[in-house]
Structure 1
Amino acid sequence: MTDPVPRIPGPERRALTIASATDVFAARGYVGASTDMIARAAGISQSYVVRMFGGKEALFVEVIRRSLDRILEAFTAALDDAPPRPLTALGAAYVSLAQKEQVHLILLQAFAASGDPAVGPAARAGFEELLHFLLHTAHLSADDAEAFLARGMLINTLMAIGLPQGATGDAADLVERVFGPAAG
């Protein structure tokens, strides 16, 4: 007789489902992901995913929210650790988080799916929240916040297409300028 599979408490199952959904959305995109794929990745039934979240749209909005929360937590910690050079500290914190948790892919998917009536408001609100943080918590000037966000979009793009690995020629030069000499 095999041992029964231990029951996972609801909050832990929810967190596991959100983590699995993050991986699936990052790999497949919002449009390419399904609640069935997410359920398989989480080791639960598709109907349970729907019962917990109401559908793919609500689950993706939750994934966006979690990603934004993680970014803001990383930014807050970066400001606490290195206030004299906030742009450098914020940028390093973002790249590190993106490499570990794929938040850059979730942001790109959120922005790409912003025409969806459920996703669009969450994507716009998240962007505004990040901008507010940069202006009012990090105390960046409007020009610095704009430059930081523009560079962040470049970083998102380079990471999403995997350019830091194996870039050559002009692309290698760009990668080194953006990520530093150890990036390739």
Structure 2
Amino acid sequence: MSAEERRESVIRAAMTEFARGGYIGTSTEAIARRVGVSQPYLFRLFPNKQAIFLAAATRCLERTRRAFEEAVEGVPDDQVAEAMGTAYGRLIDDRDVLLMQMQMYVAVATADASGESEVGDAVRAGWAELWDWLQLRLGADPRVTTDFMAHGMLVNVLVSMGFPADHRVWAGLDPDCL
């Protein structure tokens, strides 16, 4: 494998490990083991654990945006939100994607509290970029974007907590978002 291919393997493995263990609870040793490389080799590809986490967080946000972009190709404007909601439901069927998103929020709060502003700054910038893209695609109405994102966050919480689709907490939510 080339270094770039190995780097991609590390990012995929890191998403899985960070999704399950969080930033603090995940060791670079676990990531290296999952990829099948030594820790020293891992640090030739990435300077530190923070850089690995940020690469995984960036990839997670990119996957989300790509899912939205693909969902709206050729879709009439009045069906964009529904198409993206359905695509998002399929995206978070991959539990690692869902949990990585949740871990990103925890990592930002934890990093900010401990003075590691680089993590928070980078994740917030990626999230804001996703927000801006959604805002434009949803018609540039901040209320519509807020409602869409709030709905998505509620879905994240309900799915991550394991609420079954027929539970009353889902009342009023689009069943296609599962």
Identity of aligned residues (%): 34
Secondary structure (helix, strand or coil) at the match of 2:93 reads helix
Report if the CA contact (8 A) 2:11-2:52 is conserved.
yes
Deviation of the 1:103 alpha carbon: 2.4
User: RMSD of the TM alignment (CA)?
Assistant: 2.0
Distance 1:153 1:162 in 2: 14
Task: Give me the TM-score of the superposition, normalised by structure 1.
Answer: 0.84
Partner AA of 1:100 in structure 2:
D
**2:42 equivalent among 43, 46, 49:** 49
Give 1:173's aligned residue.
Answer: 168
| Partner Cα distance (1:64, 1:95) in 2 | 19
After superposition, where does 1:20-169 map in structure 2 within 5 Å? 20-83=13-76, 84-100=78-94, 102-114=96-108, 115=112, 116-164=116-164
C-alpha distance in structure 2 between counterparts of 1:178 and 1:51, whole Å: 46
Stretch moving more, 63-72 or 113-122: 113-122
Gaps of 5+ in 2: none
Q: Which amino acid aligns with 1:161?
A: M
Distance of 1:127 and 1:78 partners within structure 2: 19
Q: Distance in 2 between matches of 1:54 and 1:138?
A: 38
Q: Judge which range, 25-34 or 115-124, deviates more.
A: 115-124
Paired residues of 1:110 and 1:119 also in contact (CA < 8 A): no
- 1:109–1:41 distance in 2 versus 1, CA, 3 Å: same
Asked if the contact 1:61–1:118 (Cα under 8 Å) also holds between the matched residues in 2, the reply is no
Aligned equivalents of 2:74 and 2:96: distance in 1? Answer: 23
Measure how far apart 1:99 and its partner are.
1.3
Answer with 1 or 2: which has the greater Rg.
1
Moved over 4 A (4+): none
Query: Could you say if the C-alpha distance between residues 156 and 181 of structure 1 is closer, same or farther in structure 2, counting changes exceeding 3 Å?
Result: closer
Using the alignment, how far apart are the partners of 2:139 and 2:49 within structure 1? 36
The count of corresponding residues between Structure 1 and Structure 2 is 171
Structure 1 CA distance, aligned partners of 2:53 and 2:164? 27
- Identify which of structures 1 and 2 has the higher relative contact order when contacts are C-alpha pairs closer than 8 Å and 6+ apart: 2
Q: Name the structure 2 match of 1:3.
A: none
